Structure 1
Amino acid sequence: MSNINLIDSFQEFKDFKNIDRPTVISVLEEVFRSMLRKRYGTDENCDVIVNPDNGDLEIWRTRTVMEDGFSEDDDLEIELAEVKKIDPELEVGDDFIEQITLESFGRRAILAARQTLVSKVLELEKDEIYKKYKDRVGEIVTGEVYQVWKKETLVLDDEGNELLLPKTEQIPADYFKKGDSVRAIIEKVEMVNNNPKIIISRTAPEFLQRLFEMEVPEIFDGLITIKKIVREPGERAKVAVESYDDRIDPVGACVGMKGSRIHGIVRELKNENIDVINYTNNISLYIQRALSPAKITTIKLDDEEKRAAVYLKPDQVSLAIGRGGHNIKLAGKLTGYEIDVYREAQEDDEDVDIEEFSDEIESWVIDEFKKIGLDTAKSILELSTDELVKRTDLEENTVKDVLDILRSEFE
């Protein structure tokens, strides 16, 4: 039987990477049954047999033998006189079974069926990819860069499925070229115009969590729990950890001997600074740990407003705020408190509060300095012009004018 026109590429159907063999067989069978219904009005009296190994097809049609002139439905019944020409031994009431060949459907029907078959299998494959990745959201996936565009990068997984890594989900220092290996987390999966769209991310906190699970066996085994992660991708991250076993130091376990465990994570994240902090329910102590490496002198908490006033020695203020304000911002996100940093006054310090210069310096300029913890004249004078421009949103000329005003006070 020449069924080769319809399923000559059965091999490509049965080897579809995301569809199992029984599913493909059921699709094939449904396509053939659709052809039978179009031609005979029904497929109830037909058997469709598809060989799962090579795609060979057999279609058998059964009709009841009726007395001449008593056949009411040619699709289900056949008259005795017609049957006798084919099989003289059959009698009224017997089943007449005949094999239907594909050629009998005609070339046009065969081509239409093949087109339907291809589209159904492709649709099935898309559904399977969607379901597979929908269940894997939050997992790490490794792929190879296939194409780099301005706003996103196309990555192929081991099975050739397309994954999208948008620029917004890349670490600022990431630079990819075709053929590079990429690790990321599956961020979300959605159907767009009937096509699965798989978004992966390297900036999500969950990506850092999965990396810790891979590098630290105690986290994977559940002996250490990651309570919270906050990140400024490529700059700094803070990870709060807690141990369920008093014999295990959670921070030491995460960092490893001489930083052996955390070094791999830092490299993967393009030298992102990672602070591992021992979690505690004591908010005051938690904030102190979160602001590490700065050493805090005093903390005043306002639990209703969720604010913390932190007082530090002058040389600790810049450490608490951190480069670009990342340290204090992440500490606030980690603890859930708005943190205000204040420079602790020294007894022998003849310093002057910045507010006392409000008649010479505009209030919005004073606010810019206070935002980064510089609330006295000497705390501002201790920093260079370049450092002040970098930390605030002020122009260089404005900073120089302020410095001149403050210096004249002490001169």
Structure 2
Amino acid sequence: MDNIALIESFGDFKDEKGISKIDLMAIIEDALKTLLRKRFDSDDHFDVIVNPDKGDFQIFLNKTIVEDEMSEDDDLEIEISEAKKIDPTFEVGEDFTMEIPVAQLGRRNILTLKQILATKLQEHNNAMLYEQFRDRIGEIVIGEIHHIRHKHVILLDDEENEFILPKENQIPSDFFKKGESIRAIVESVDFKGSKPQIIISRTAPKFLEKLLELEIPEIQDGTIILKKVVRIPGEKAKIAVDAYDDRIDPVGACVGVKGSRIHGVVRELRNENIDVIQWAKNPELLVKRALGNVIINKIDINEETNYALVYTPVEEISKVIGKQGQNIRLASWLSGFEIDVYREASEDDDVELKEFDDDIEAWVLEEFRKVGLTTAKSVLDKDTSTLLNMVDLEEETIEDVKRILKEEFEE
């Protein structure tokens, strides 16, 4: 096999993988030097010249001219008499360069060269694939379901690149069919052995962020800014948006008429409920907006510890906390504050003392009534020492009464 035939044998591979002529020639040069190192232990005395225009290459061996009968290594030295047969002007000590025909390497070495070339080409493709998708981390890719396995799903894109979607990166309600096309973001690219492994995700907040950019032109062109995105995949998400122009309603622009703009994103995320709020620099206002449409009486903010205590009526507690604590968790993530809720009881929550006649003896209740303490809270609001001075009861009896009253409000 001559030089050109050897190169042309990889032509189909080059065309299929899209390797440039220059890259292919560099790979051939590297492969030839690898073979020379295997054959001669070193490639230091060889020059490899690859001509990408002709699709040809040459191997040259550089020898040192020595006196006759003084050569210690025929691979690296040539006697003066042999050198002068080529050029009578040669002198001892000069360099002598000779071309090594590929055929002289032997059939076995040529086969080895083909194997080395195949390996080098694969290494090149793997490196190119790694660089390509490392630069696309955080971007959306589309792949077709190729294999469905217990712990992950394997997808292929239009160029037959393989993506891995682990179980933990799938939305809980995801259900895939072979041949189905889905979207996800590139989460990471790492080498597993010699091959790059591209991990994708549908649960990352970045996936929601990129979907919003695709669906809402104002986010894509920068008119509306996505300040923060948090989510519990498949359940609920909150996004905070803002606008450079005060005349623009960023929330309305994102949601659209009757939710038209955000419906596509919700469907992609398997009906994940998405709350859109307007960002606020004021921490108290940000926490209030992050909690959503709930009644809040007061918020105490500690910016040093990033802590917020929210005071809300009893009937609003369930809405503030949300299903399985989702609302308050997402609000904490979105605002950056650890949020606690304090239940503010209204006067309507108080209970008349006479309602406790099954648990407290009538004469004891009468002692409290005589001094104007007719409700549970009127008793609980006073400490025991004060009550001892007001009613003719033992301390132990007063403590028992307070315990019974407290239990009513703890239920």
- TM-score by length of structure 1 reads 0.73
Whether contact under 8 Å (1:163, 1:199) holds in the other structure is yes
For residues 92-111 of structure 1, the aligned pairs below 5 Å read 92-93=89-90, 100-111=100-111
Are 2:8 and 1:11 equivalent residues in the alignment? Answer: no
Cα distance in 1 between the residues matched to 2:300 and 2:36:
82
Cα distance in 2 between the residues matched to 1:219 and 1:242:
10
2:243 maps to: 243
Letter in 1 for 2:172: P
1:225 maps to: 225
**SS of residue paired to 1:226:** strand
Are 2:11 and 1:48 equivalent residues in the alignment? Answer: no
CA distance 1:171–1:52, change in 2 (3 Å)? farther
CA distance 1:72–1:193, change in 2 (3 Å)? closer
Q: Deviations over 1:47-90 (max 9, x none)?
A: 5334467x555556788999998999866757677986xx9xx6
CA distance 1:236–1:42, change in 2 (3 Å)? closer
Give the share of equivalent positions with the same residue, in percent: 48
Letter in 2 for 1:195: K
Per-residue deviation, 1:265: 0.8
Cα distance in 2 between the residues matched to 1:45 and 1:197:
37
Q: Deviations over 1:134-179 (max 9, x none)?
A: 2221111111111111111112223222211111111111111221
**SS of residue paired to 1:348:** helix
For residues 258-277 of structure 1, the aligned pairs below 5 Å read 258-277=258-277
**SS of residue paired to 1:154:** strand
Cα distance in 2 between the residues matched to 1:190 and 1:71:
51
Q: Deviations over 1:286-328 (max 9, x none)?
A: 1221111222233233444433332333443222222222111
1:30 maps to: 30
**SS of residue paired to 1:280:** coil
Whether contact under 8 Å (1:171, 1:269) holds in the other structure is yes
Whether contact under 8 Å (1:251, 1:278) holds in the other structure is yes
Are 2:327 and 1:327 equivalent residues in the alignment? Answer: yes
Cα distance in 2 between the residues matched to 1:170 and 1:207:
12
CA distance 1:304–1:62, change in 2 (3 Å)? closer
Q: Deviations over 1:194-216 (max 9, x none)?
A: 32122111111111111111122
Per-residue deviation, 1:32: 2.6
Whether contact under 8 Å (1:65, 1:92) holds in the other structure is no
For residues 6-405 of structure 1, the aligned pairs below 5 Å read 6-7=6-7, 9-15=9-15, 17=17, 19-35=19-35, 38=39, 46=47, 48-51=49-52, 55-59=55-59, 91-93=88-90, 100-350=100-350
**SS of residue paired to 2:116:** helix
2:390 maps to: none
Whether contact under 8 Å (1:254, 1:261) holds in the other structure is yes
Give the greater-gyration-radius structure (CA).
2
**SS of residue paired to 1:317:** helix
CA distance 1:346–1:148, change in 2 (3 Å)? same
CA distance 1:351–1:101, change in 2 (3 Å)? farther
CA distance 1:146–1:42, change in 2 (3 Å)? closer
Cα distance in 2 between the residues matched to 1:329 and 1:35:
61
Unmatched runs of 5 consecutive residues or more in structure 2: 360-406
CA distance 1:14–1:79, change in 2 (3 Å)? farther
Whether contact under 8 Å (2:173, 2:234) holds in the other structure is yes
Per-residue deviation, 1:329: 1.2
Please tell me the root mean square deviation across aligned C-alpha atoms, in Å.
3.6
**SS of residue paired to 1:136:** coil
Letter in 1 for 2:241: V
Per-residue deviation, 1:260: 2.0
Whether contact under 8 Å (1:66, 1:80) holds in the other structure is no
Letter in 1 for 2:249: D
CA distance 1:8–1:288, change in 2 (3 Å)? same
CA distance 1:294–1:351, change in 2 (3 Å)? farther
Letter in 2 for 1:205: P
Cα distance in 2 between the residues matched to 1:301 and 1:51:
69
2:395 maps to: none
Equivalenced residues, count: 353
Q: Deviations over 1:351-380 (max 9, x none)?
A: 59xxx9xx9xxxxxxxxxxxxxxxxxxxxx
**SS of residue paired to 1:155:** strand
Unmatched runs of 5 consecutive residues or more in structure 1: 360-404
Cα distance in 1 between the residues matched to 2:313 and 2:67:
110
Per-residue deviation, 1:36: 5.0
Whether contact under 8 Å (1:219, 1:225) holds in the other structure is yes
Q: Deviations over 1:63-119 (max 9, x none)?
A: 8999998999866757677986xx9xx654499987643222111111111111111
Cα distance in 1 between the residues matched to 2:288 and 2:41:
81
Per-residue deviation, 1:39: 5.5
Per-residue deviation, 1:263: 0.9
Letter in 1 for 2:254: C
CA distance 1:192–1:300, change in 2 (3 Å)? same
Cα distance in 2 between the residues matched to 1:66 and 1:162:
58
Cα distance in 2 between the residues matched to 1:258 and 1:154:
37
Per-residue deviation, 1:330: 0.7
Cα distance in 2 between the residues matched to 1:78 and 1:19:
44
Letter in 2 for 1:318: S
